[in-house]
Amino acid sequence: MAAELMRRWIAGAVLGLLLAGGTRLNAEGENRDPKAVEVARTMMQAMGGEDAWNAVHFVRFDFKINAGGTLKQDNAHLWDRKDGRYRIERTGKQEVDFFTIADYERDKSGSVYVNGKKLEGDQARKLLADAYRSYINDTWWLCMPWKWMATGANLKYLGTKASGRETFDVVEITFGHVGLTPGDTYRAFVSQKSHLMTLWEYTLSPDSPVPLKKDSWDWEYGDFHGVKLATNHIDPNKVTINMGDVRVLDQVDDGFFTDPARMLSGLK
């Protein structure tokens, strides 16, 4: 009983400190101060509005890392946002092609094909887990500004920063116990002119494959059926992460989720 009373006292004290500082702990447990939420809502409205984003069914995009004129990674994605289906085609890893069709929403199950041959057992499970990590990472680079209000995301307003002829609202995004690397920290720079996040800086979690790495990237956008999504990112060393031919689609033949022979290059 004493331990339970102590736990409740600590929880109450923490909540009191948060409220005194102007930060609100919402029903899901996220810490989001009102100014940061205001910036987030205005940003998403400038990107087409949350209703428009929630109505998107299929997204076709790529994830291409180019450094020094060399293509380092090339992933092709087809994302069914309504029914929880996902397809990834990865080229160039270990000099083979492998194709993953995964039910990412329910149990992360799926089928893995390498050079046209279906894999089973531990090898398939390992590649499915790798494909799921690519889904988490690559969609983050595509549409991170749409995810600020997702479960587990904490928002803290850090003030403004002037750069060139623009002034930016700076918001820090951290996470609770969600995602693959909840220790990551992002600082997003949202233009007070366009209301778009045109730059982010991040420090990766110690659990990341590249521990404690810090980096910054400029973001470029396109408009797809009234919804803005990233098209390209550039870091200070001129490394680019390009999202390829981004498309928002209302209909996609089911074969692209069930037939390994139906390559995404054939999706028109």
- Per-residue pLDDT of the chain (268 residues), as tens digits, is 223 322 322 222 222 223 333 444 554 567 999 999 999 999 999 999 999 999 999 999 999 999 999 999 999 999 999 988 899 998 765 434 556 766 666 777 788 888 778 889 998 888 888 888 889 899 999 999 999 998 889 999 999 999 889 999 999 999 875 555 566 789 999 999 999 999 999 887 666 554 445 678 999 999 999 999 999 999 998 999 999 999 999 999 999 988 888 889 899 8
Residue 214 shares a structural domain with residue 259: yes
Hey, what are 96's tokens? 């083979």
Residue 7 shares a structural domain with residue 99: no
The structural domain count of the chain equals 2
Hey, what are 120's tokens? 């089973």
For residue 147, give the nearest of 44, 230, 216, 46 by alpha carbon.
Answer: 44
pTM of the model: 0.82
Taking residue 190's Cβ as centre, other Cβ atoms within 10 Å add up to 24
Residue 22 shares a structural domain with residue 115: no
The residue type found at 112 is V
- DSSP character for 120? -
Domain that holds residue 168: 33-266
Residue 218 phi, psi dihedral angles, 5° rounding = -80, 145
Residue 117 shares a structural domain with residue 220: yes
CATH of the domain at 206: 2.50.20
Q: Which residues contact 69 (CB under 8 A, 6 or more apart)?
A: none
Residue 75 shares a structural domain with residue 175: yes
Residue 153 shares a structural domain with residue 60: yes
CA dist list (Å): 130 to 73, 93, 124, 222, 227: 14, 11, 10, 28, 29
3-state secondary structure 178-189: CCCCCCCEEEEE
- CB 131, CB 88: distance < 8 Å: yes
Residue 200 shares a structural domain with residue 231: yes
- CB 153, CB 173: distance < 8 Å: yes
Residue 165 shares a structural domain with residue 200: yes
